[in-house]
Amino acid sequence: MYGESFPRSQYMQSEPRMSNTEALTDDEYTMRTSSSASPMSPYFYDQGRLSGEGSPMMMSPWNQTSGSPFQKVQWLPGDDGGSLPQNALVGSLVREEGHIYSLAATGDLLYTGSDSKNIRVWKNLQEYSGFKSNSGLVKTIILSGQKIFTGHQDGKIRVWKVSPKNPSVHKRAGTLPTLKDIFKSSIKPSNYVEVRRHKTALWIKHSDAVSCLSLSDNKLYLYSASWDRTIKVWRIADSKCLESIHAHDDAVNAVVCGEDGMVFSGSADGTVKVWRREPRGKGLKHTAVKTLLKQECAVTALAVDANASMVYCGASDGLVNFWEGEKGYVHGGVLKGHKLAVLCLTAAGTLVFSGSADKTICVWRREGVIHTCVSVLTGHDGPVKCLAVEEDREAAGSRDRRWVLYSGSLDKSVKVWSVSESMNNHQAQHQRMVSDAESLPSISDSSLSSGWASGRN
């Protein structure tokens, strides 16, 4: 089943259809997936333009930011009368300055990135500080010690540092690749590769949006995935690009690191691949180990659990596939909980969280290979684009292990949830994972969220 491939258009621009999150009609779907679409069609993609220009996202009626980008933040508390229930909305962080595309949490700090180009820093759910990049919308944020890495729509990776004198101050420390490396590489013609027809670029630079960042298990390397179909590997110590992997045949939407040098990548070409990191002289070499999944629907999100014993993949058809790492990444099953594309995934403890274009978050509890949907979190008015999770320190040491879940949405808000790991059985919806025989819908399945069928997340 996973060895089959289907014809697909490689040049589709498929940001979320913000004006309508329902599935496309048959006529719209035919237009959108046709590689011969007319240039007058709203779904036509011109290879020569930047990936964000003219996309449904940029033309969205939700993309009209009202007022100043520094409009006063709103704190909207949840219903906290008495003790919190096992799953509760704690509150919402609303700052009318753009769709929320990225989140990163550490301790009592939360970083949020949006298409306003601003990175906001929140401390204990209050606005703490912020800094602005001129590199387009902030698609991904990752934290490494006192460094903050941000990936942007224009293909740049920015590096920021926390001031040792004032932790609320963040200063830009550089860009990946560095100007020095760009200058040195530009001298040799062999350092240029073809990125589009009749267009070349340095191999150390991304030529399209940076969709995802991930840290290696030993925290020495940074991986960046891009719509230019490559994954680049950076040594954090000196900001040097060690390798560029031509990983997929379409946009790379996700990259995530496991243990023992294993790396996983997911793409709009419908595949999930496993790579092994190996030292090679002073650099690195990544070898393709196996392809876990090959399907028509775009892969939009990846996650591994804390022990790297499970790998999860979300796709544009609304399904979450998973594989068992301890058995050599054998396919374990499929989780059916969403009506539209899964846009983000994260795992913590025995829980897995999936956020979707259907505006909901499914909370899955794992027991062995059995996954039960114990809760569906609702409250967002737009697609859930990103998730971050931290252990609830106030509940540390208690029998009830709790997590603080942050969800960022294209409704311009971040919601904060308190989630318990020990759900009562009567609260569970007992939505078990299905067997392999039912794992993928047919092409005509009405649950297919066509807006992401050839999608870039």
For residue 12, is it within any domain? Answer: no
* Span 139-156, pLDDT tens digits: 999 999 889 999 999 999
For residue 217, is it within any domain? Answer: yes
For residue 13, is it within any domain? Answer: no
* Span 96-132, pLDDT tens digits: 788 999 999 998 899 999 999 899 999 988 999 999 8
CATH number for the domain spanning 195: value is 2.130.10.10
* Span 348-407, pLDDT tens digits: 999 999 999 999 999 999 998 999 999 999 999 999 999 999 998 877 767 778 999 999
Q: Give the per-residue pLDDT at 456.
A: 83
Single pTM value for the model: 0.79
Residue 427 clears pLDDT 60, i.e. is over it: no
For residue 404, is it within any domain? Answer: yes
| Residue type for position 379 | G
* Span 272-300, pLDDT tens digits: 999 999 988 888 899 999 999 999 999 99
For residue 21, is it within any domain? Answer: no
Domain span holding position 421: 26-452
Residue 251 clears pLDDT 80, i.e. is over it: yes
For residue 239, is it within any domain? Answer: yes
Q: Give the per-residue pLDDT at 87.
A: 72
**Rounded distance, CA 303 to CA 295, Å?**
18
Q: Give the per-residue pLDDT at 86.
A: 60
Label residue 423 by pLDDT band (50, 70, 90).
low
For residue 218, is it within any domain? Answer: yes
Q: Give the per-residue pLDDT at 34.
A: 34
Query: Which ranges of 153-264 does DSSP label H, i.e. alpha helix?
Result: 179-186
* Span 77-89, pLDDT tens digits: 544 444 445 678 9
Residues 6 or more apart whose Cβ sits within 8 Å of residue 257: 214, 215, 216, 217, 223, 263, 264, 304
Closest CA to 340 of 312, 369, 362: 362
For residue 7, is it within any domain? Answer: no
Closest CA to 412 of 64, 22, 19: 64
- The total number of structural domains that make up the chain: 1
